[in-house]
Chain A
Amino acid sequence: MKSIYGLLQPDAGEILWNGQPARPASPHEARRLGIGMVFQHFSLFEALTVAENIALGLDSPPDRRVLAKRIREVSEAYGLPLDPHREIHSLSVGERQRVEIVRCLLQDPKLLIMDEPTSVLTPQEVERLFETLRRLASEGCSILYISHKLHEIKALCSRATIMRGGKVVGSCDPAAETARSMAQMMIGAELRTLSRRGARGVSEPKLVVENLSLPADGPFGTALKQIGFTVGAGEILGIAGIAGNGQTELSQALSGERRVRPAGAIRIGAKPIAHLSAEQRRLLGLCTVPEERNGHAAVPEMSLAGNTLLSARNRMKLAPGGLIRAGLARGYAEQVIRDFGVKARGPEALAGSLSGGNLQKYVVGREVLQTPEVFIVSQPTWGVDAGAATAIHQALMTLAQNGAAAVVISQDLDELLQITDRLAVINLGHLSEARPTAEISVAEIGLLMGGLHGTEPAAAEEKEHAVHVA
């Protein structure tokens, strides 16, 4: 995709654009050809307004007032209402995506490339996006839609090309295939089915969170407001929500990267731990996998062996008395690589040289093999291929089966519905009451994600604003 959009230069081969060979040397040239792209990670300046952000992305922005008018016209014509004068940081993720789409639409694209556009949207927002895309397609704009969510491909696309490891491995008519058959083409092997555990009775709460409040992490963070939940031994609790609603703060508070008062706000069994550091909590059996693999869960410039020391040095006794036993660290890394099928040159490979899926398997494996009693994991399969995702899900479920209490914080609703026992939704720093996953409908979750349970004035205000804009 980056080659088509002119960000990378292909080494060989050619791109035909309207029958002509084309080789855009820059995004600027690609845009001139009529190619627009919406990236998975947005490129917007939080402190600038919608109109200013759009003007920055245009090659020859018109006068400010004309532009604002055009934004209003185009956004309304496609059912993507936007106020050109609002600042980006006050917009929801769905609205931010609209800014990116409108930015492309203003240039009358003939081809619109969308890279995993729904990973940050509520189910309702996804439906709305699909309507817009269908409308665009009917007006003659080609849409190239990249996604690993196969039911979306089935719902939206008229043809599908399946890629694996940088190669095209097949193409099909998504309407004629099942999601399962496409998934098998994607991972190139028979898809392993998750062994789902049977229903279990109520067990002792292992992790208790009560009245947990925490100020926001920076000006664009979200404060946590009186969060409470319990997780029993052998249970997986899911926390759904759109990015930026307090997930980062929650996982920092749970992991110990930020300490919280009073100490009893987080407890393992009856033991208060909220005032303890990450390493102290780890020694009490609480292990975590943060959302970001590179630079947070692992140091990219260090080897896999070196990276074991981050979280396993004390629990796995890799450095008794503060002295690193290189052999033990290497051995533990080898064990993780073997047990979790991590594709790497060996324990001396740099973490940064692994693919996303393999590094994620390594990171999850490093924690799981420590047999934690409480396991907190954020976005366990973000940007990971289907095979690795299944392996990670299976590891989580096995861990729970063996009696650990697990919390999965994720934006991927499908994932949560698949592996969790109970589900709660976080919105503007509030956590909804956790309910059994089997009893909750996707529509309900969508509404909770959109904040329809909010009783705080701030939440109500935010909602009103949204209505006003619409």
Chain B
Amino acid sequence: MSLRIEPRREPSRAMVWLTPLIAIALTVASGWLLFLALGLDPAETLYQFLIVPVESFYGWTELGVKAAPLILIATGLAIGFRANVWNIGAEGQLIIGAVAAGAVALAFWGEEGWWILPAMCVAGALGGMAYAAIPAFLKTRFDVSEILTSLMLTYVAVQVLGLLVYGPWKDPDGYNFPQTRMFTDAAVLPILVEGTRLHLGVLVAGVIAVGAWFLMGRTVFGFQIQVVGQAPAAARFAGFSRKRVTWFSLLLSGALAGLAGTFEAAGPIGQLIPQLTPGYGFTAIIVAFLGRLHPIGIVAAGLVMALSYIGGENAQVSAGLPTAATGVFQGMLLFYLLAADVLVRYRLRWTSAQAKPVTVS
């Protein structure tokens, strides 16, 4: 017997949604082996990792808090990925967005006004957008790979944030810690459920995912993005402009990343700090693919990835797991997903030994 991979006549629709589940199952199985090798009780550790975080209502709200930035960013990235525009720098756009929103919050520090929070959101979105405009310009004008430019700009953004919180924006009463003042009430997102950290941004993320679903599924504009990504020549034939789609998808994903940064700063954190994001901008790439670049899938995938963050922290405390475990889990998930995706276009078949090609020379 031998295992053969043969192409399917049409990509399997069932597999498109099954492969993420297969990938999750394989990740959990590998985690089991990993914990065994580390000398831990795999069942207990996995329980801490995957179940404990969602055993209480509070756990679910925390899941929402962690998932919101992932969903926001991944929704924007997925639209770009469909157009073959690879924005890898959402992390940087998130940071610049948070910085821009933080500038507004600090400028009106201590003041009252319903308009401060909306102004922060606009500033955050514009900040992320402006930062994504750099790769967009370089791509459309000089054909520079947006993968490289957007990724490298992330490291610049980290330095910009550091420069500000270690320098001019440092809290004067903060005992020299690298952080800004805590934002005042008018600059902080309202909490939806008393006693939790579930803020308005979580709701906004959900609404934007639904909006993206409508845009991609029902409008000519979304159709245009898909055609540009799948068949550039057909897009020219249809009269769609590749440049316009490149600009749009980079600006949109930049704006959503900037908004996610705003929500982090104005939500659970409440100030600017160097560790603004635990890599949301990069994890969102995994979320986008795990969710099949589909807005509704992304919501589910965002929750799964949020679980890996919270579960990772949980397991650190209870089982003494290293911090890297979270990254390992997320990495394995993307790895298995990409591998399992072969099944969408190909099927595995057992063939008997007799049918093996016989060669006569």
Interface centre among B219, B221, B234, B360 (most CB of A within 10 A): B234
Which of B107-115, B223-231, B275-283 contacts its partner?
B223-231
CA separation between A280 and B240, bound complex, in Å? 11
Which residues 230-256 of B have a CB within 8 angstroms of A?
230-231, 233-234, 236-239
Are B234 and A299 neighbours in the complex by a CB distance under 8 Å?
yes
A219 part of interface (Cβ distance < 8 Å)? no
Are A280 and B239 neighbours in the complex by a CB distance under 8 Å?
yes
Are B234 and A23 neighbours in the complex by a CB distance under 8 Å?
no
Are B220 and A319 neighbours in the complex by a CB distance under 8 Å?
yes
Encode B319-361 as 1/0 by CB contact (under 8 A) with A.
0000000000000000000000000000000000000011111
Are B360 and A23 neighbours in the complex by a CB distance under 8 Å?
yes
B141 part of interface (Cβ distance < 8 Å)? no
Are B237 and A297 neighbours in the complex by a CB distance under 8 Å?
yes
Min CB gap A354→B, angstroms: 11
User: Considering only CB atoms, which chain A residue lies closest to B227 in the complex?
Assistant: A299
Check A279/B359 contact, CB under 8 A, given A296-B231, A310-B227, A324-B218.
no
A228 part of interface (Cβ distance < 8 Å)? no
Min CB gap B248→A, angstroms: 14
Min CB gap A13→B, angstroms: 13
B359 cross-chain contacts in A, Cβ below 8 A: 23-25, 29
B231 cross-chain contacts in A, Cβ below 8 A: 295-296, 299-301
How many A residues face the partner with a CB closer than 8 A?
40
Are B10 and A277 neighbours in the complex by a CB distance under 8 Å?
no
Are B357 and A9 neighbours in the complex by a CB distance under 8 Å?
yes
CA separation between A211 and B199, bound complex, in Å? 65
User: Considering only CB atoms, which chain A residue lies closest to B217 in the complex?
Assistant: A324
Determine which of B218, B230, B233, B361 lies in contact with A302 in the assembled complex, contact meaning CB atoms within 8 Å: B230
Min CB gap B352→A, angstroms: 13
User: Considering only CB atoms, which chain B residue lies closest to A278 in the complex?
Assistant: B239
Are A350 and B220 neighbours in the complex by a CB distance under 8 Å?
no
Which residues 1-58 of B have a CB within 8 angstroms of A?
9-11
Encode A275-302 as 1/0 by CB contact (under 8 A) with B.
0011110100000101010011111111
Are B219 and A324 neighbours in the complex by a CB distance under 8 Å?
yes
Encode B202-231 as 1/0 by CB contact (under 8 A) with A.
000000000000000011110100110011
Are A20 and B237 neighbours in the complex by a CB distance under 8 Å?
no
Min CB gap B94→A, angstroms: 30
Are B236 and A350 neighbours in the complex by a CB distance under 8 Å?
no
CA separation between A33 and B223, bound complex, in Å? 51
A310 cross-chain contacts in B, Cβ below 8 A: 227, 234, 237-238
Determine which of A32, A282, A311, A353 lies in contact with B10 in the assembled complex, contact meaning CB atoms within 8 Å: A353
Determine which of B10, B218, B237, B361 lies in contact with A288 in the assembled complex, contact meaning CB atoms within 8 Å: B237
Interface centre among B218, B221, B236 (most CB of A within 10 A): B236
A306 cross-chain contacts in B, Cβ below 8 A: 223
User: Considering only CB atoms, which chain B residue lies closest to A288 in the complex?
Assistant: B237
User: Considering only CB atoms, which chain B residue lies closest to A345 in the complex?
Assistant: B10
Min CB gap B97→A, angstroms: 28
B220 cross-chain contacts in A, Cβ below 8 A: 309, 313, 319, 322-324
A280 cross-chain contacts in B, Cβ below 8 A: 239
User: Considering only CB atoms, which chain B residue lies closest to A326 in the complex?
Assistant: B218
Min CB gap A283→B, angstroms: 10
Min CB gap B13→A, angstroms: 11
Min CB gap B8→A, angstroms: 10
Check A256/B223 contact, CB under 8 A, given A21-B360, A29-B359, A295-B234.
no
CA separation between A319 and B219, bound complex, in Å? 8
B9 cross-chain contacts in A, Cβ below 8 A: 353
Check A278/B230 contact, CB under 8 A, given A23-B359, A29-B359, A32-B361.
no
B223 cross-chain contacts in A, Cβ below 8 A: 306, 309, 319, 324
A190 part of interface (Cβ distance < 8 Å)? no
User: Considering only CB atoms, which chain A residue lies closest to B223 in the complex?
Assistant: A309
A247 part of interface (Cβ distance < 8 Å)? no
CA separation between A257 and B357, bound complex, in Å? 47
User: Considering only CB atoms, which chain B residue lies closest to A32 in the complex?
Assistant: B361
Min CB gap B244→A, angstroms: 11
Min CB gap A258→B, angstroms: 8
Are A290 and B237 neighbours in the complex by a CB distance under 8 Å?
yes
CA separation between A25 and B236, bound complex, in Å? 41
19 other A-B residue contacts (CB within 8 Å) besides A298-B234, A309-B220: A9-B357, A29-B361, A32-B361, A33-B361, A278-B238, A278-B239, A279-B239, A280-B239, A292-B233, A299-B226, A299-B230, A300-B231, A310-B238, A319-B220, A323-B220, A324-B218, A324-B220, A353-B9, A353-B10
Please list the residues of chain A having a beta carbon within 8 angstroms of any beta carbon in chain B: 9, 20-25, 29, 32-33, 255-257, 277-280, 282, 288, 290, 292, 295-302, 306, 309-311, 313, 319, 322-324, 350, 353
Sample 20 A-B pairs with CB under 8 A, ordered by A number: A22-B360, A23-B360, A24-B359, A29-B361, A32-B361, A257-B236, A280-B239, A282-B239, A288-B237, A290-B233, A295-B234, A296-B237, A299-B227, A300-B230, A301-B11, A310-B234, A310-B238, A319-B219, A323-B220, A350-B10
